[in-house]
Amino acid sequence: MRTEAKGLVAHGVSTCHGCGMELAVRNILDVLGPRTIIVIPPGCAALFSGFGSETALKIAGIQGNLENSAAIAAGIRAGLEMQGKDDVTVLALAGDGATVDIGIQSLSGAMERGDRILYVCYDNEAYMNTGIQASGSTPMQAWTTTTPAKKHVYRKDMLQIARAHRIPYVASASIGYIEDLRKKIARARDAGGPAYVHLQTPCPTGWGYDPARTIEVARLAVQTRCWPLYEIIEGRINITVKVNKPRPVEDYLVLQRRFRGIGAEEVERIQRVVDEEYTELLERVEDE
């Protein structure tokens, strides 16, 4: 029997079982509602744009290129302004490769110009759709097909890059904390200028864990402080999920095949980096 899906996303999207990104898209569109135009570049989220004449989305949208999601969104906003329509949200929904590497130039331009777009980077921490290649957001010590001996450099801190543009709203988010995510999407929509949300969406296929454990993995990323949840409103940082008693990073790493085989020294190094980054975050909050 065919049933009509509730909300703005149809049934039957061909993402993998347990895909964190799918849960994210359903929630983001549920918050934003039908007066939304979506821009999706190539990547796993393009499974929502659809194939040929079919789409899984019940809103207007366009699939662009990997490098220009923010530029397309900015152009749509300019067109809406010319028509005097200010009740439409323009959402760019792009992966980490499309954001922190290939699309960073057009995103930076839109943030500099102050274009009123909501840009969500769903971060599954690699170029998943083309076969798990490392991106600038792949964490240290993770296996990917282009880092078969693990990644040995720092990931880019995209939140700080966005913050440096002095846009009205920047936030990290996680599908393990849906209410927190939904509030941030609403605030980002209403920010009155460029808003950037960097959302971790665990990927069972690329990370190598049981698809039933997606939420657990997402929550562990936060509870180990590997993925701190905060927002930056007009330059001021607010930690939205405080983790006073963090779990050791090993609890998060051990669930994922991409970290298999790393030794005690590497785990210690990851712990040290996570501790340093969290201390820096707290210092920035105190400095304000």
Ligand X SMILES: Cc1ncc(C[n+]2csc(CCOP(=O)(O)OP(=O)(O)O)c2C)c(N)n1
Please identify, among the stretches 15-23, 136-144, 189-197, 251-259, the one whose residues bind ligand SF4 according to the rule CB under 6 A: 15-23
CA angle 149, 152, 153 (to 5 degrees): 150
| Residue 16 interacts with which of Mg ion, ligand SF4, ligand X, none, CB < 5 to 8 Å by class | ligand SF4
Q: How many residues does the chain have?
A: 288
- Least Å from the CB of residue 16 to ligand SF4: 3
Angle between helices 69-82 and 104-113 (to 10 degrees): 30
Q: C-alpha distances in angstroms, 70 versus 104, 131, 267?
A: 9, 24, 36
Does 15 help bind ligand SF4 (rule: CB under 6 A)? yes
Give residues 174-233 in contact with ligand X (rule: CB under 6 A): none
Contact (Cβ atoms closer than 8 angstroms) between residue 172 and residue 195: no
Q: Is 115 in contact with 74 (CB distance < 8 Å)? A: yes
Based on the shown chain and the rule CB under 6 A, indicate whether residue 138 belongs to the binding site for ligand X.
Answer: no
Q: Should residue 16 be labelled a site residue for ligand SF4 when binding is judged by CB under 6 A?
A: yes
Q: Which does 205 bind (CB under 5 to 8 A by kind): Mg ion, ligand X, ligand SF4, none?
A: ligand SF4
Among 8, 19, 91, 92, binds ligand SF4 (CB under 6 A): 19
**Terminal alpha carbon distance of the chain:** 57
Q: Select 96 or 180, whichever has its Cβ closest to ligand SF4.
A: 96
Q: Which of 20, 48, 96, 237 touches Mg ion (CB under 5 A)?
A: 96
Sites for ligand X among residues 8-67 (CB under 6 A)? 42-45, 66-67
203 lines the binding site for ligand SF4 (CB under 6 A): yes
The SS3 of residue 268 is: helix
Partner in contact with 130, chosen from ligand X, Mg ion, ligand SF4, none, beta carbon below 5 to 8 Å by kind: ligand X
Segment 99 to 158, residues that bind Mg ion, using CB under 5 A: 124, 128
Tell me how far apart the alpha carbons of residues 137 and 157 are, in angstroms, rounded to a whole number. 8
What burial letters (b/e) apply to 175-188, b meaning 16+ CB within 10 Å?
bbbeebbebbbebb
Residue among 252, 283, 249 at smallest CA distance from 269: 249
Footprint of ligand X on residues 68-127 (CB under 6 A)? 95-98, 102, 124, 127
Stretch touching ligand SF4 by CB under 6 A, among 28-36, 139-147, 197-205, 264-272: 197-205
DSSP states of 100-164 as a string?
A: IITTHHHHHHHHHHT---EEEEEE-SSBTTTT-B--TTSPTT--BTTBTT---SPPP-HHHHHHT
Which of 204, 217, 226, 237 lies at the binding interface for ligand SF4 (CB under 6 A)? 204
Q: Which of 136, 205, 250, 273 binds ligand SF4 (CB under 6 A)?
A: 205
Do residues 45 and 21 lie in contact, with contact meaning Cβ atoms separated by under 8 Å? yes
Nearest approach in angstroms of CB 227 to ligand SF4 is 16
DSSP-derived letter for residue 99 is: I
**Site residues (CB under 5 A) for Mg ion?**
95-96, 124, 128
**Site residues (CB under 6 A) for ligand X?**
42-45, 66-67, 95-98, 102, 124, 127-130, 135
**Site residues (CB under 6 A) for ligand SF4?**
15-16, 19, 21, 44, 124, 128-129, 203-206
